[in-house]
Amino acid sequence: MEICDTISEKVQGGRAKEVVALINQALEEGIAPDTILTEGLITGMNIIGQKFKNNEVFVPEILAAAAVTMMDLSLEAEAFGCTLHTSENEVPTVVGALVTDEDEADELEIPQVGDARTGLYIEAAKKAKSRITDRPVLAGVIGPFSLAGRLMDVTEALANCICDPDFVHAVMRKTTPFLIEYAKAYKAAGLDGIVMAEPLSGLLSPALEEEFSAPYCKELIDAVQDDSFAVIYHNCGPNTPKMTDSLSSLGASAYHFGDAVQLEEILDKMPSDRVVMGNISPSKQFLGGTPDSMAQAVKELLEKCAGHKNFLLSSGCDIPPKSSWDNIRAFFRASEEFYAE
């Protein structure tokens, strides 16, 4: 049906206002709502979802081209045996250090996938995948060095990259195999990929990042990424603009950066065939901003970055739980208005 084909095309182009108008036109012409839904809307989202997964398009105007399950960066550390602090309004946080020297690291047992809450998250992701059929579904996984920081204590992990590098590498030899198996479990559950969060390495110097993070991240990426399973690398640290050569060598499908950096600087340095995502401030805009300030922030970022075909508008990190829905709506509305001009 011609009008449903047009609806599908407009969905793929992110033309929300035109989609609404076409839906109303189709209804006035007597076309059944389920026909509009299946042959127009869902068809369009399935096409753009498959293209995004295959890295065939980098389209910022697609407002929600993928679904990502909840990310909790204490999850994997808990499976190793770390103690957590929980509160009503925040995600759990790790308390204290699980290992304090190389001997303890060598003796540390690698947990089984399914231990603690990891099995629950995999099962939840599997259910999400079964119900979300119009776009890729991705899971959240912590990065190897960031997990090491939770097992050792963040300050100790950073300091020991210089003071006791053997200790850090000993911990990394435990975190990386576990994370590979954890990512494989999501792949076996039918998901389309993972977002691997490695923010702690963004506090390292480029040389230390190349030693203590990059090789382990690449090992994970090489173990799980293929044509049907993507790895999106996330790093919200301030030193990432100095690490672009190392990061691009990881071979991730896409890269996501935080608001501590000027994203246009990274876009200028990263390969043009890799998606670069970011980086509206979660704290300043989603949580602490207003709809007007959010619209202005989105406009300014798009003006700087939209000329790069591999740029995808996103928040700079996970969105705080208390963020205003008005600010979230303003984020999407500002993007839609920018690309409609």
pLDDT per residue, tens digit, the chain (341 aa), is 688 888 888 877 666 567 767 887 887 888 876 677 668 766 776 676 666 556 555 444 344 567 888 889 999 999 999 999 988 777 789 999 999 999 999 999 999 999 999 999 999 999 999 988 878 899 999 999 999 999 999 999 999 999 999 999 999 999 999 999 999 999 999 999 999 999 999 999 999 999 999 999 999 999 999 989 999 999 999 999 999 999 999 999 999 999 999 999 999 999 888 899 999 999 999 999 999 999 999 999 999 999 998 999 999 998 888 899 999 999 999 998 998 87
Count other Cβ atoms within 10 Å, centred on residue 97: 18
pLDDT the model gives residue 50: 66
Helix spans in 199-255 (H): 206-212, 214-224, 244-248
Which pLDDT does position 62 carry in this prediction?
Answer: 45
The label of the residue with tokens 């640290």 reads: 237
The CATH T-level fold of domain 55-257 is TIM Barrel (3.20.20)
The confidence score (pLDDT) of residue 60 equals: 41
Angle at 229 between CA 169 and CA 45, to 5 degrees: 140
pLDDT computed for residue 133 by the predictor: 82
> pLDDT at position 153, please?
97
The predicted model scores a pTM of: 0.81
Number of Cα atoms under 13 Å in the Cβ half of residue 312 = 24
Question: Interhelix angle for 165-188 vs 144-152, to 10°?
Answer: 120
pLDDT at 240: 95
How do the domains of the chain map onto residue ranges?
1-53, 55-257
Write down the number of H helices and E strands in the chain.
Answer: 16, 9
Report the b/e string of 320-336 with b at 16+ CB within 10 A.
eeebbeebbebbebbbb
